[in-house]
Amino acid sequence: MKILVIGGGGREHAIIRKLKESPKVDKIYCAPGNGGISKDAECVGISAMDLDGAVAFAKDNQIDLVFVAPDDPLAAGMVDRFEAAGIPAFGPNAAAAQIESSKVFSKNLMKKYHIPTARYEVFSDPKEAVAYIEKNNQFPIVVKADGLALGKGVVVAATVEEAEEAVRSMMQDHKFGASGSTVVIEECLTGPECSMLAFVSDGKAHCMATAQDHKRAFDGDRGPNTGGMGVYSPVPIVTPDELAAMHDIMERAAVATAREFDNDYRGVLYGGFMLTPEGPKIIEFNARFGDPETQVVLPRLESDLADIMLAVAEGRPDDIDLRWSEQWAVCVVLASEGYPGSYEKGKVILGIDEAEQIEGVTVFHAGTAKNFDDELVTAGGRVLNVVALGDSFDDAREKAYEACDLINFEGKQYRSDIGKRAAAGRAAWEN
Evaluate if residue 6 carries a pLDDT over 90: yes
Is the pLDDT at 259 greater than 80? The verdict is yes
Residues 354 and 419 in one domain: yes
Please name the amino acid found at residue 331.
Answer: C
- In one-letter notation, the amino acid at residue 287 is A
- Same domain, yes or no: 306 and 365: no
Alpha-carbon gap, residue 24 to 224, rounded angstroms: 43
My answer on whether 176 and 219 are in the same domain is no
> Is the alpha carbon torsion for 347, 353, 354, 355 positive or negative?
positive
Q: What is the pLDDT of residue 222?
A: 93
Task: Classify residue 375: in a domain, yes or no.
Answer: yes
Q: What is the DSSP string of 309-375?
A: HHHHHTT-GGG----B-SSEEEEEEEE-TTTTS------B-B-HHHHTTSTTEEEEESSEEE-TTS-
d(CA 59, CA 239): 48
**d(Cα 427, Cα 431) in Å, to the nearest integer?**
7
Domain count, the chain: 4
CATH code assigned at 206: 3.30.470.20
Q: For the residues 384-400, what does the mean pLDDT come to?
A: 97
CA pair distance 2, 359, nearest whole angstrom: 30
Q: How confident is the model at residue 431 (pLDDT cuts 50, 70, 90)?
A: low
401 Cβ contact list (under 8 Å, min separation 6)? 332, 416
371 and 413 part of one domain: yes
> What pLDDT score was predicted for residue 429?
82
* Domain CATH number, residue 361: 3.90.600.10
Cα angle for residues 296, 280, 431 (degrees, 5° grid): 85
**3-class secondary-structure state, position 78:** helix
CATH assignment of the domain containing 158: 3.30.1490.20
E strand or H helix at 236, and its extent?
none
- Report the residue count for the chain: 431
Are 407 and 297 found together in one domain?
Answer: no
Q: Dump pLDDT digits (tens) for 34-82.
A: 999 999 999 999 999 999 999 999 999 999 999 999 999 999 999 999 9
- By percentage, how much of the chain surpasses pLDDT 90? 91
Is the same domain home to 345 and 228?
no
Using alpha carbons, select from 7, 5, 9 the residue that is nearest to residue 385. 9
Task: Supply the pLDDT for residue 312.
Answer: 95
72 and 129 share a domain? no
Residue 430 has pLDDT above 80, yes or no: no
Torsions phi, psi for 330 (to 5 deg): -130, 135
Quickly state the pLDDT bin for 152 (edges 50, 70, 90): confident
367 and 413 together in one domain: yes
32's CB contacts (< 8 A; 6+ apart) are: 8, 43, 44, 45, 46, 47, 48
Asked, for residue 188, whether it belongs to a domain, the answer is no
Strands across the sheet containing 89-90: 42-43, 27-32, 2-7, 65-68, 89-90
Asked whether residue 29 carries a pLDDT value surpassing 90, the answer given is yes
- Distance separating alpha carbons of residues 311 and 307, to the nearest angstrom: 6
Confidence at residue 263, expressed as pLDDT on a 0 to 100 scale = 75
Residue 84 belongs to domain spanning: 2-91
Q: Mark whether 154 and 259 lie in a shared domain.
A: no
Nearest to 422 by CA among 161, 235, 165, 158: 235
Q: Model confidence over 99-133: pLDDT tens digits?
A: 999 999 999 999 999 999 999 999 999 999 999 99
Q: Cite the beta strand spans of 41-162 per DSSP E.
A: 42-43, 65-68, 89-90, 120-123, 141-145, 154-157
Q: Report whether 289 contacts 364 (CB < 8 A).
A: no
Model confidence pLDDT, tens digit, residues 33-46: 999 999 999 999 99
Residue 406: inside a domain, yes or no?
yes
Q: Choose one of 133, 149, 181: the last residue of a domain.
A: 181
Residue among 305, 308, 317, 304 at smallest CA distance from 265: 317
Q: What is the pLDDT of residues 300-321, one digit of tens each?
A: 999 999 999 999 999 999 999 9
In a domain, 96, yes or no: no
Query: What pLDDT was estimated at residue 324?
Result: 96
What is the tens place of the pLDDT at every residue in 177-217? 998 899 999 999 999 999 999 999 999 999 999 999 999 99
CA angle (303, 305, 308) in 5-degree steps: 90
Q: 141 and 215 in one domain? A: no
Rounded-to-integer distance, Cα 369 and Cα 35, Å: 4
